[in-house]
Amino acid sequence: MSPSAPSTAMVGREAETRVVRAVFERSLEGTPVALLVEGEAGIGKSRLLREFAAEVANRADVHVGWCLDLGASRTPFGPLVGILRSIVSQLGAESVRAQLGVGAEALGMLLPELNPTERSQTSPDRVRDAIAALIEVAAERNPQVLIVEDLHWADDSTLAILAFLMRSLTRGRIMLLLSCRSDDVRRGDAVSSFIGESTRARLLDRVQVDRLDADAVRELAEAIIGQPLSDTALERIRSRAEGVPFFIEEIAGCSAGPLPGTLRDLLLARFDRLGDDARRVVQVASGADRALTHPTISALAGLADGRLDEAIREATQSGILIVVDDEYRFRHALLREAVHDDLLPGERARLHRSYAELMEQQGAGAASGEPAALAYHWQLAQDPRRALAAAMTAMSDAKARFAFASAARFGELVLDLWAQVPDAEIVVDVPRLEFLRSLGSVLRNAGDGERALAVVNLALSEVDPAAVDPRTHARLLRDKAYYTMNLGRNGSVPLLQDSLSVLDGRVDDDRLHASILNQLGSRYMVAGRLADAIDIATEAERRGDAAGSDEETSIAANIRAASLAHLGSVADAHEQYALALARANTTNAELRYRVNYSDLLGLLGRYRDAVRVAEEGMERAREYGVERTTGAIMTQNMAVPLLEMGEIERVEGMLARELAQATLRIFHAYSTMTRVRVLSWRGRHVEAAEIVREWHPVFAEAGVDERQIWYDEIMMRLSVAESGGDLRAALDEVRAMLRDDGPRLLHERRLMLEAGWLIAELRATGEAVDDAVSEVREAWLSQPEQLLDDAWWRILSAFLDPSIPALRSAVDLADGDDVPVTFRVMARLVLARMLVDTAERPAAASVLDEARRTAETLGHVPLGRAVAEFAHAAGLRAADSRHAGGVGSGDAEPLTARELQVLELIAEGLSNRQIAERLFISVKTVSVHVSAVLRKLGVASRTEVAVLHRENTPTVRQPAVIR
């Protein structure tokens, strides 16, 4: 067995090395880069990274962190702690404190030796910002290479920070280098999603490390053996190793004798040749999830110093263990896995018990990240009682560090172990129902709504109403209502009513009553039961006052404000929102205020104010680690007004980030409407239509209890129809909405405004729109008085009853801040059509050119297409008057045979619809032909066409140009 395998030169990785070097050189230009080195187990990823790190060690600071193999119990922020500790070590703690200021306090969540920090003193947002700031500070001194090994074992909190760094680090000589065992990444898991989203967003370059070819196999094997190989020996190695360098090394070491029969035997071949003491050391090391210090091995191996030294020397010379930074680790993870799997169940349990006891003796603290490892060791030690206690501590630790996904995993472990420990409540010092409530909350914050609902259902199934504290019972029912709503499902209102029934007459707790009443009032409000919502909120406010709870009275004012706004009492609504903000002394109350108030501002067209309020709310949501839940609503409340303001690229970026993080179904439903509108805006109506079909069941179910969702689906279908050119179908969506006998909310104002343009466009094609005009006008004027006479109504009125003065005024109004930016194009297009009809072609050309430029600036494909089609049909060219010369123009185009038919029917006085019926073609096609006739004849109206036709009757029947 050759001991030199680990030290042979790296073979066959020239191409991959060039890629890594090139990415590093790019980082030296001052723009951060990220590269993923991926490949199967044993392919040489870590070797490639080690060689590269050694190569650039004199040009950059290299920091390495490892994701640890702890099964499902992954350590929060696993590799990042080591990387950050290395950076701080190089910069010096005092320098870091001086340069980061308060950021050093946030880093104390991960590095308590820098500055011990309590959860209440910081937030996820500050921790992320501090990490980014530390890396940037280090990059000002030297280029930084941050290596994260074994990404396939990364926890969700690590993935979230890496995603944040790739998006937020925009300057500095920084290279983020990741390695990942591709055969351990399952489709759909968190790591797979991270890689996929980062690649699609072009934040992450990737290099695949493939198997070695025949020449490289020979070169590597001969370097290990130290002599040339016969073709027979080479073929034996090739057929068994299949080009995987690690297997080549192991097989080459056995080339003098018979090859092991299985892969397991191959991996254990070196181990089997060790002496007893060396085997003991290697077995001990196999139980560790990380590198081991000499004192740790000494404490666990139970060997005298001399015997221990000889055993370690034999293990390292055999090529199984290596020494890195005065610590011992396996040369390859596959070797560790093989040795560990070879242990008998009793041996494995005793080994992990030894690890767990040693960690407890050494005082494994939560801040060190050791609770996760302790839970892992006690679980494998088959000691459910101690594993339960450790898992509970690990759950609390992860939750305290805002690592909700990791906390959820430990909580699931606690749930699994609970049944194995008779006195589990005593062990964890938490009643089972309270633990289940806490786990449900953690799961929700981690974005797993289905599992949160399953956990609360489990808790309710264990409730004995006669024996349980009614407060606990009521809270569980309230939680179930909340999780049901999060999933976009019906049934939250009866659950809240049941919750109140549990309390009535049994519990004198005004604060709890107020909380549940507020949640019920909120559900009434979103369902459109506005009067009921106001009554419930008023009762909640009374209870909140009695309990001295500003939080509950703030939420009550919030609900009353939103309900009053939808009833048309806008001024009163603003007053109630001001009261809600004044009383919002908790994060929950403040975020509720910002969600609802930004929504109202957007519905009223106060887009800049809506964005400001939502942006402030997003900052707070990030600070408190709820960006996946409340933050997702706030993102939508920012995206909609930004879209109405025309900031399409910013909205697309927000949607990409929203897709990259796990959140709850109802929040995805909110953003789906915006996604469909964005795709339709870009002209991708086929893709948008597919999303509408996919999400229809969700919107249909959620729309029963949440009227906004019902309106959102109408907006989606309208957008798709518009983008596809089916304006009649788009208008029909609005008319169907107006005929619905359900509650009317402010959301319909925007849809009615859109209907005005649809009516104007359809009228231009000759379609009958009188009924639609009456329907839309009547619906608008039936609103409460405070909602009537505004810019939107004057624009809508100009579309419904067009005149040039009214449309010119509409153009001016559309250029204001409080009108959707698309109406800058729409109003000009309608005005240009009327100017053409009144023979004011130069003015029409100017207006149309403004519309074209605006559509191009907005990147709005359907509107750009509509402007271009009309310009072509009417003979109006931007900055081009060649077709404005009228009948006498010498470069007029000849009419086609179909256009001649249309010309004759226009002269007869037929409408577009009548022409369509006569020729058996669509009205839209007739409209195109009519526009072409007008353009080619150089006239502005159908009347001029008829006059010209009569004057040229002998000529027009010839295939010639009309003069």
The stretch 353-372 carries a mean pLDDT of 73
pLDDT in tens, 448-477: 888 999 999 999 999 999 899 999 999 999
pLDDT in tens, 56-74: 999 999 999 988 776 655 6
Q: How far is CA 514 from CA 522, 541, 543, 559, in A?
A: 12, 7, 5, 13
pLDDT at 819 over 70: yes
Supply angle C-alpha 675, 720, 921, rounded to 5: 165
Task: Pick 598 or 931 by higher pLDDT.
Answer: 598
Of all residues in the chain, the percent with pLDDT exceeding 70 is 86
For residue 782, what pLDDT is reported? 95
Sequence-distant (6+) residues with CB within 8 A of 395 are: 407, 410, 411, 414, 439, 442
Q: Let me know if 423 is exposed, middle or buried by CB neighbors in 10 A (0-12, 13-18, 19+).
A: exposed
Asked if 462 and 432 count as a contact pair (C-beta separation under 8 A), the reply is yes
- Does residue 836 sit in helix, strand or coil? helix
Given the DSSP bridges, would you call strands 327-330 and 321-324 parallel, antiparallel or unpaired?
Answer: antiparallel
For residue 1, what pLDDT is reported? 35
pLDDT at 270 over 80: no
Asked if 73 and 155 count as a contact pair (C-beta separation under 8 A), the reply is no
State the pLDDT confidence band at 366, using cuts at 50, 70 and 90.
very low
Among 189-203, 283-297, 752-766, top mean pLDDT goes to: 752-766
For residue 728, what pLDDT is reported? 96
For residue 368, what pLDDT is reported? 44
Q: How far is CA 563 from CA 65, 517, 569, 593, in A?
A: 52, 15, 9, 13
For residue 421, what pLDDT is reported? 95
pLDDT at 148 over 70: yes
Please state, in angstroms and rounded to a whole number, the distance separating the CA atoms of residues 118 and 122.
7
CA atoms 435, 440, 445, 451: torsion sign: positive
Task: Pick 108 or 529 by higher pLDDT.
Answer: 529
pLDDT in tens, 506-548: 889 999 999 999 999 999 999 999 999 999 999 999 999 999 9
pLDDT at 278 over 50: yes
pLDDT in tens, 714-757: 999 999 999 999 999 999 999 999 999 999 999 999 999 999 99
Closest CA to 738 of 777, 688, 785, 685: 777
Least confident of 433-447, 643-657, 898-912: 898-912
Q: Let me know if 888 is exposed, middle or buried by CB neighbors in 10 A (0-12, 13-18, 19+).
A: exposed
Q: Let me know if 813 is exposed, middle or buried by CB neighbors in 10 A (0-12, 13-18, 19+).
A: buried
Of all residues in the chain, the percent with pLDDT exceeding 90 is 48
Please state, in angstroms and rounded to a whole number, the distance separating the CA atoms of residues 921 and 913.
9
Sequence-distant (6+) residues with CB within 8 A of 871 are: 848, 852, 877, 878
For residue 643, what pLDDT is reported? 95
User: What residue type is assigned to position 521 of the chain?
Assistant: G
Task: Pick 207 or 537 by higher pLDDT.
Answer: 537
pLDDT at 305 over 80: yes
- Does residue 684 sit in helix, strand or coil? coil
Sequence-distant (6+) residues with CB within 8 A of 185 are: 152, 191, 192, 195
pLDDT in tens, 684-706: 999 999 999 999 998 998 888 88
User: What residue type is assigned to position 426 of the chain?
Assistant: I
Residue 948 tokens read as 């010209």
Residue 277 tokens read as 């003491």
Q: Among the residues of 122-184, which ranges form H helices? A: 124-141, 156-168
pLDDT at 661 over 70: no
Stated as kind and residue range, the H or E segment containing 561 is helix 550-566
Please state the φ and ψ torsions of residue 37, each to the nearest 5 degrees: -100, 115
Q: How far is CA 615 from CA 576, 612, 632, in A?
A: 21, 5, 12
- DSSP-assigned beta bridge partners for residue 181: 39
Please state, in angstroms and rounded to a whole number, the distance separating the CA atoms of residues 105 and 112.
9
The stretch 398-410 carries a mean pLDDT of 83
pLDDT at 185 over 80: no
pLDDT at 22 over 70: yes
State the pLDDT confidence band at 633, using cuts at 50, 70 and 90.
confident
For residue 526, what pLDDT is reported? 92
pLDDT at 249 over 70: yes
pLDDT in tens, 333-360: 777 888 888 899 999 999 999 999 998 8
DSSP 189-225: SHHHHHHHHHHHTT--EEEE-----HHHHHHHHHHHH
Please state, in angstroms and rounded to a whole number, the distance separating the CA atoms of residues 151 and 398.
19
For residue 724, what pLDDT is reported? 94
For residue 541, what pLDDT is reported? 96
Q: Among the residues of 446-529, which ranges form H helices? A: 449-461, 470-486, 492-503, 510-527
* Torsion angle (degrees, nearest 10) of CA 783, 789, 790, 792: 60
Closest CA to 252 of 231, 275, 236, 271: 236
Q: What is the mean pLDDT of the chain?
A: 85
User: What residue type is assigned to position 943 of the chain?
Assistant: T
The stretch 835-844 carries a mean pLDDT of 91
The stretch 795-817 carries a mean pLDDT of 95
Least confident of 72-81, 253-262, 555-564, 724-733: 253-262
Task: Pick 797 or 333 by higher pLDDT.
Answer: 797
pLDDT at 553 over 80: yes
State the pLDDT confidence band at 447, using cuts at 50, 70 and 90.
confident
Please state, in angstroms and rounded to a whole number, the distance separating the CA atoms of residues 20 and 52.
8
The stretch 209-221 carries a mean pLDDT of 78
- Does residue 853 sit in helix, strand or coil? helix
For residue 141, what pLDDT is reported? 92
For residue 157, what pLDDT is reported? 82
